[in-house]
Amino acid sequence: MKLILSTAVVISLLSVGAMAAKPNVNAPKGGVMNYNFPAEPESLHPIMSGDIYEQYLAEYVHEPICGTDPETYKQVPRLAEKWEVSKDGLQFTFHLRQNAFFHNGDPVTADDVKFSFDAVKEPKHQALNLIPYVEGFTKIEVLDKHTIRFTAKEKYFKNLEVLCSYVKIIPKSVYGDINKSVKMQKEVIGAGPYKLEKYDKGQMITVKRFDKWHGIGNKEFAGYYNFDQINFRFTKDDNIIIERFKKGDIDFENDNTADLYMKASKSLDKNAKAYKVVTNKPKSYGYIGFNFRDERLKDLNVRSALAHLFNRPEMNKKFRDNMSDLATGPVPVRSNQAADVKPIEFNPKTAQELLKKAGWSDSDKDGVLDKTINGQKQKLSFSFIYANKDSEKYWTMFKEDAKKAGVELNLKLMEWNSFVKTIEDNNMELWAMGWGAGSVEMDPKQIWHSSSSAKGGSNRGAYSNPEVDKLIDEGRAELDEAKRTKIFKKAYTIIAKDVPYIFMFNNKYDFYIASNKMKKPADSFKYDFGYTTWWSDTK
C-alpha cells in the first residue's frame, strides 16, 4: 500500500515504556544515511505536493516555525525562538531567530513567513489539502523583520499546531513568481538542516548538511541531524529492499507494513534488523476507496456488499501474523475517537442479499450481476487500481471472493505517478491507497468534508454527508478536548456506517528496518522512531 499525506490520524491509547528517550548530545557528526523510499516523490514542491515521501524529505530540507518533541509531543522552538498566544486564543505572535537562512543564502524574515502562508491560497498552487487549515487566519501582520502575528477569526483546536508545522516556510525571492514556482517540481529551497545536492530521477535524491543552518552549535539541537549526507533511494519491491539491506546499500526503511516486517525478520542477516515497537506514534491506515461519482457506487448497499466480500480476518492471519486490528473507520480502533461500530465482517451471504436488495441480478447468466440504471444496462464490473505489487495478494483474494458473488474486479497495477494522476483526474472506480500519519489528533475536514472534494483536495471519492459536514465544523471550533472527542466520534461513526472506504487494518505495532551501523538513543521515542537523532559509527 502506498501512503499519501494526511495531517491526520488520531489519539492513540497504546501504552509505552516509562523510560523517556533523549537525544545523545555527544553523538558524533559525520557519515551517510541511506534512507529508502518505496516510491519516488511525486513532486518536491513545498506547497503543491501531498506525497508522504516528499514529507519525509521535508523533515530534512525544510524548517517549520516550531516543531514537535518526539518524546513529549509538545511544541518546541525551530525558526521561531519563542512565541506568545493571546488570552482569547486568537492571536499568535512569533519571534524568529535572526541567524536563520534559506539554502540560497537569503535570511529568513517575517515577510517570507507571511508569503509562505499566502502562497498556500494561490489557486495555481492547487493546495486544497492545506486550505482547511490556513483559511481560519484573517490577518497576518509583519510587525518587524523577525516578528510576525497571526489573527484567527475563530477558535480552532489546531491553530497553534497549524502555524507551527503545517506550512513549509519558503523564500519569497524564489517562489514569489507563481509561473516559475509551479514549474519547480524537482527542486526545492528550504531553511532546514540539509540542502538538496542532487536529484537523479528514478534513482536517488541526495541532501547534504547546510553549513548555515541555525541549529549548528545551538544546544537546543544537540544530538539531532548528525549525518553529513543523506541519500534517499527508491526501492519498491520488498524482496529487493531486503537484499539491499543485506548488501549494506540501505540503512533505514520507514513506515513498514506487517508483511515486510515478517519477511525481513526471517530473511535479514547480521547487517540489519527489523524492529517492532509500541509507540503513541500517529498511525497510518490503508483503504480501498469508492468513487461516489460512479452511479453504481453511490448505492450504500453496493459499497457495503463489497466490504462484506473483503476477507480481512483471513488476510490478517495469513499475511500479517495477526499483528493488526480490523479497522472500523477513519481512526484506529484503539483511539478514544474511534467509530462506535464493529468491524464489517466477511460474509458473502450478506453481500449477496444486499446486492439482491439493490436490484442486481445475473440476467444474461454470464456470472456478473447487472442492472438497468438510467435506461442503460450496467454490470457490477469494476476497475481496481493499485500501485504496490507487494499488496497484490490482498487484491487477488478480494477478486476471487467477489467473483463468487457475481462482482468482477479488474486488477490493474500502475506506476505511482500515473496512479496518482488517475485519481486526481477522478478516472478511477476502486483504488487501493492509504493515509499517512501526521499529527496525533486528526482534523477530519481535509478528507471527509464535502468541500474537500474539489481538485487538489483529499476527499478523492467525493464523499458527502451534510450531517458529517456539520459535525466536523462544530468539532473544529471546540477547544474542550472531551467535548470535541464526543463530536468527532459521532462523525466518524456516521462515516463508518456510510462505507466510503473499505477500511483495512490498524497496526498494533510500528515497524521499521535499520542497518546495524545506525546507532540510536533508543529503539523508539514515545511519539516517533527518532531517526533524526540517529548517528553512524562509521564515517
- Tens digit of pLDDT for each residue in 514-534? 999 999 999 999 988 999 999
Burial 360-370 (b: 16+ CB within 10 A, else e): beeeeeeeebb
Over the stretch 5-45, which tens digit does the pLDDT of each residue have? 333 333 333 334 446 889 999 999 999 999 999 989 989 99
User: What is the Cα–Cα distance from 293 to 445, expressed in whole angstroms?
Assistant: 20
3-state DSSP helix/strand/coil percent for the chain, to nearest 5? 30, 20, 45
Which pLDDT score, from 0 to 100, does residue 119 have?
94
The pLDDT, as a whole number, for residue 465 is: 97
Measured in degrees and rounded to the nearest 5, phi and psi for residue 216 equal: -65, 125
User: Is residue 447 exposed (0-12), middle (13-18) or buried (19+ Cβ within 10 Å)?
Assistant: buried
Identify whether the C-beta of residue 20 lies closer than 8 Å to the C-beta of residue 71.
yes
Burial class (CB in 10 A: 0-12, 13-18, 19+), 142: middle
The answer to whether 189 and 104 are in contact (CB under 8 A) is yes
Cell numbers standing for residue 208: 547534504
Which residues, in sequence order, are CB contacts of 340 under 8 Å at separation 6+? 489, 493
Asked if residue 501 lies in contact with residue 288, where contact means CB atoms within 8 angstroms, the answer is yes
Residues of the chain with pLDDT under 70: 1-19, 50, 436-438, 538-539
CB atoms closer than 10 angstroms to residue 491: 26
Q: What domains appear along the chain, each with residue ranges and CATH number? A: 39-233 (3.40.190.10), 235-277 (no CATH), 285-507 (3.10.105.10)
Cβ neighbours of residue 483 closer than 8 Å, sequence gap 6 or more: none
What contacts 211, CB < 8 A, 6 or more positions away? none
Amino acid letter, 20: A
pLDDT of residue 539: 56
Residue 244 Cα to chain centre, angstroms: 25
Contact present, 456 and 128 (Cβ < 8 Å): yes
CB-based contact 208:197 (threshold 8 Å): yes
Scan for cell 535570511, then name that residue. 107
Q: What 3-state DSSP class applies to 147?
A: strand
Spatial CB neighbours of 315, under 8 Å, sequence gap ≥ 6:
394, 397
pLDDT at 428: 96
